[in-house]
Amino acid sequence: MTLNTVLFWILAATTGFCAIAVVVSQNIVRSATWLLFTLAGVSGVFFLLGADFVGATQLLVYVGGTLVLVVFGVMLTAQGPFVTMRTGAAEWAVSMVVGLIFFAVLVVSVASAVWPERPRRGPADEMNNAEQSMSSTRLGLALLGVREATPAARMTGLPARTGQTGPGHPPAPNVRTRVAYLFPFEIVSVHLLVVLLGAAYLARAKRRRASSAAPLGTGAGVNGL
Amino acid sequence: VRETLLEQWLYDNVFQSPFWPYLIVAAVFGLAWISFMLVSAIFSVWLERKVAGRIQDRLGPTRVGGKFGWLQTLADGLKLLVKEDIIPASADRMLFRLGPYIALTGSFLAYLALPFGNGVVARDMNVAVFYMLAVMSTEVFGIILAGYGSGSKWSLFGGMREAAQMVSYEVPMAICVIVPVIVAGTMNLSAVTRQQEGFFWNWYVFHDPFTFAAFWTYFTCATASCKRAPFDLAEAESELVAGFHTEYSGFRWLSLFMAEYGSMFAVSGIASLLFLGGWNTGVLPVDLTVWLGPVLGNVINVLVFIAKGWLLVFVMMWVRWTLPRLRIDQVMMTCLKYLLPISCVLLLGVSLWQLAVPNVVLVYLRYVLAVLSVGGLVLLIFRAATMTTTPPMGGMPGAWGGLRAPGYGLANKP
């Protein structure tokens, strides 16, 4: 039992408990609050693994963006003071089945994956996170294709790794083992930009012809906030 | 190599194993940072009241604890601790209780990545500034929960305004942070500050016109993100009673306030580290740890850093008590129509600047910018210091200097 293991189990137990509470609680905003703790727990696991960048992104995108928008939406649309949801028996059944199938898929894939042997570091290095916290540098290098980042398991549809690489095994010059993720990443971000513009286009104030009467709600959009 | 000086020393001299140094350093930093945050908040509240008093032509607190009312905030704190803890009947009890603590936690977590000196940092993260922005967005969620969970219309309006404001202001703030990060080539705050070692023209605010503009844009967005006036629409006591904390009293109210003052210092700290040289004094050619050793040098470094942070906090207060509050649509317009395009232009501009501008300009422009700015600042301070504060007989003070006081001389008439 090292410190990391203890911390992992604390985080994992908290995350699991909060994830169950998300589903069980009937008030939407309470659900969102439990979801906050779940997401924070998951990002805590990322921090524990030394993936600072992923952990911080998780917090920024989901807590600072998505959850705030959820509560904002509830505040804008709710009729009564606190919104509650009633879930019927059929919905419970369907979601249980879907959830169990998904869980089974996860368990099978985790169990069948071949985990690459990592060189055991000495006890003195066990808690040395200075090297681990270079994660954003390594991510950037992988994006640019400088560093090997192809997953070893055949999960993503990417071409499987051909040569043995990793620490101590410099990639052979003739074998194309490196995959740059920069291009797909850029495509995704342009796609998001297009979505953003589309949303702005759909939500824009509709222009009326001058002959029609003054439209309702012109310019009153944010005054009521 | 361990991450911090203390951990390294404990590892070398006391324990020879990584486990206990790690735990001890974690405990020491946790306690030290939360104490600093709370003491800093106490000092800031006192300063706020004095600044507000002076700007409104009165004295502020004067009695508790001697001449300047030093202990006023402590007295207030004691009062708040013993105050009755009221939860409204219509509130969602769980959300009402949780909100302030989430806000305080988010604000405190930001300090873990904030370097106070060369190596004086709880966790020297590679993505420190990104992490700080991320956890400070958690604080916003606490504020929104406090507003929503109170079950009161004033609080709800406050929470909604806060949500709308934050979702908008986060974007230009993050983009402005990227501008010096592009110049520095790293998001590690310690590394960014080490690059600004030496005299003040090495500070990134003077690096080029774009970082210079980015500093002011960032500071505006940061003021808004701490919901400080003129952007304090979530509180807006003239319209919403007290906005999101209308229903709070006692310790929970105190937590909301501590969170606000904590994040004020945190965003000021980011500004000082990214743009104003952080712990570097700016008037010495090297980092003080080189001359005085890691301990004594860092003591002075930490003091310099805290002084810079408090100076920026003071500017926020100055702005708060000088400018009137904007309307909510003006707040949104300021962000979406002005700050967002400005920050995008700055981002593009600094990228092109790095690529296209010849080296000679890069080297010498910083001197020009630095000398002009500091000269202007000195001139301003000189003018302010030599300004006569007492108006002449029959005249008016300040901006009304040319006018005659109404009614003056009536008593002398026969």
- Which residues of chain A make contact with B134, given a CB cutoff of 8 A? 56-57, 59-60, 63-64
- Which residues of chain A make contact with B90, given a CB cutoff of 8 A? 81
Mutate to test the interface with B, among A14, A30, A75, A132 (most CBs of B within 10 A): A75
- Which residues of chain A make contact with B141, given a CB cutoff of 8 A? 36, 63-64, 67-68, 71
Tokens linked to B414: 């026969």
The dihedral region occupied by B57, where left means phi > 0, alpha psi between -120 and 50, and beta the remainder, is left
Subunit contact A222:B329, Cβ cutoff 8 A: yes
The predicted-structure confidence for B298-325, as pLDDT tens digits, reads as follows: 888 889 999 999 999 999 888 888 888 8
Subunit contact A225:B98, Cβ cutoff 8 A: no
Mutate to test the interface with B, among A133, A134, A138, A141 (most CBs of B within 10 A): A133
How many beta-carbon pairs under 8 angstroms link A with B? 131
The pLDDT of residue B342 is 92
Subunit contact A129:B133, Cβ cutoff 8 A: no
Which of B18, B130, B145 is facing A124, going by the closest CB pair? B18
For B46-69, give the DSSP string.
Answer: HHHHHHHHHHTTS----STTSTT-
The predicted-structure confidence for B92-102, as pLDDT tens digits, reads as follows: 888 888 889 98
Residue B390: what residue type?
A: T
- Which residues of chain B make contact with A74, given a CB cutoff of 8 A? 148
For A55-114, give the DSSP string.
Answer: HHHHIIIIIIIIIHHHHHHHHHH-SSSS-B----HHHHHHHHHHHHHHHHHHHHHHHHS-
Who contacts A101 (Cβ-Cβ below 8 Å, separation ≥6)?
none
Subunit contact B141:A29, Cβ cutoff 8 A: no
| Residue of chain B minimizing CA distance to A50 | B125
**Element containing residue B79 per DSSP (H, E):** helix B72-82
Instruction: Give SS3 for B404.
Output: strand
Which of B18, B138, B145 is facing A64, going by the closest CB pair? B138
Q: What are phi and psi of A166, to 5 degrees?
A: 115, -175
pLDDT < 70 regions, chain B? 1-5, 18, 388-389, 397-399, 405-414
Which of A29, A53, A222 is facing B148, going by the closest CB pair? A29
Mutate to test the interface with A, among B127, B161, B178, B240 (most CBs of A within 10 A): B127
- Which residues of chain B make contact with A53, given a CB cutoff of 8 A? 126-127, 130
* A84 at B interface, C-beta within 8 A: no
Mutate to test the interface with A, among B3, B10, B107, B125 (most CBs of A within 10 A): B125
The pLDDT of residue A12 is 92
pTM over 0.90: no
Report whether B243 contacts B161 (CB < 8 A). Answer: yes
Task: Give B203 to chain A, closest Cα distance, Å.
Answer: 24
Look up residue A123 and give its DSSP letter: G
Name the CA dihedral angle for A27, A32, A37, A41, rounded to a multiple of 10 degrees.
Answer: 130
Instruction: Give SS3 for B395.
Output: strand
Subunit contact A33:B98, Cβ cutoff 8 A: yes
Subunit contact B144:A33, Cβ cutoff 8 A: no
Mutate to test the interface with A, among B16, B19, B133, B137 (most CBs of A within 10 A): B137
The pLDDT of residue A173 is 47
For A125-184, give the DSSP string.
Answer: GTT--TTGGGHHHHHHHHHHTSS----SSTTSSSPPP-S--BTTBPPPSSS------HHH
Task: Give A74 to chain B, closest Cα distance, Å.
Answer: 10
Tokens linked to B173: 């703030």
CA quadruple B241, A81, B259, B115: dihedral sign:
negative
Subunit contact B141:A67, Cβ cutoff 8 A: yes
Residue A122: what residue type?
A: G
- Which residues of chain B make contact with A76, given a CB cutoff of 8 A? 160
- Which residues of chain A make contact with B328, given a CB cutoff of 8 A? 222-223, 225
The pLDDT of residue B361 is 80
Subunit contact A130:B166, Cβ cutoff 8 A: no
Subunit contact A30:B92, Cβ cutoff 8 A: yes
Residue B368: what residue type?
A: V
Q: Which residues 106-165 in chain A show a CB within 8 A of chain B?
A: 123-124, 126-130, 133-137
* Residue B294 to residue B172: CA distance in whole angstroms: 37
Mutate to test the interface with A, among B4, B24, B126, B327 (most CBs of A within 10 A): B126
The pLDDT of residue B219 is 92
Name the CA dihedral angle for B29, B30, B36, B42, rounded to a multiple of 10 degrees.
Answer: -170
The pLDDT of residue A101 is 95
**Among A209, A129, A207, A143, which residue's Cα sits nearest to residue A178?**
A143
Subunit contact A52:B125, Cβ cutoff 8 A: yes
Which of B127, B151, B159 is facing A52, going by the closest CB pair? B127
Subunit contact B92:A29, Cβ cutoff 8 A: yes
* A35 at B interface, C-beta within 8 A: no
Predicted ipTM of the assembly: 0.77
Report whether B50 contacts B56 (CB < 8 A). Answer: no
What are the angstrom distances between the C-alpha of B28 and each of A166, B31, B105, B112, B122?
Answer: 37, 5, 17, 12, 9
- Which residues of chain B make contact with A30, given a CB cutoff of 8 A? 92, 94-95
Look up residue B336 and give its DSSP letter: I
The pLDDT of residue A127 is 44
Which of A36, A56, A133 is facing B134, going by the closest CB pair? A56
Subunit contact B149:A76, Cβ cutoff 8 A: no
pLDDT < 70 regions, chain A? 1, 79-83, 116-139, 144-181, 208-225
The pLDDT of residue B398 is 67
Q: What are phi and psi of A27, to 5 degrees?
A: -85, 130
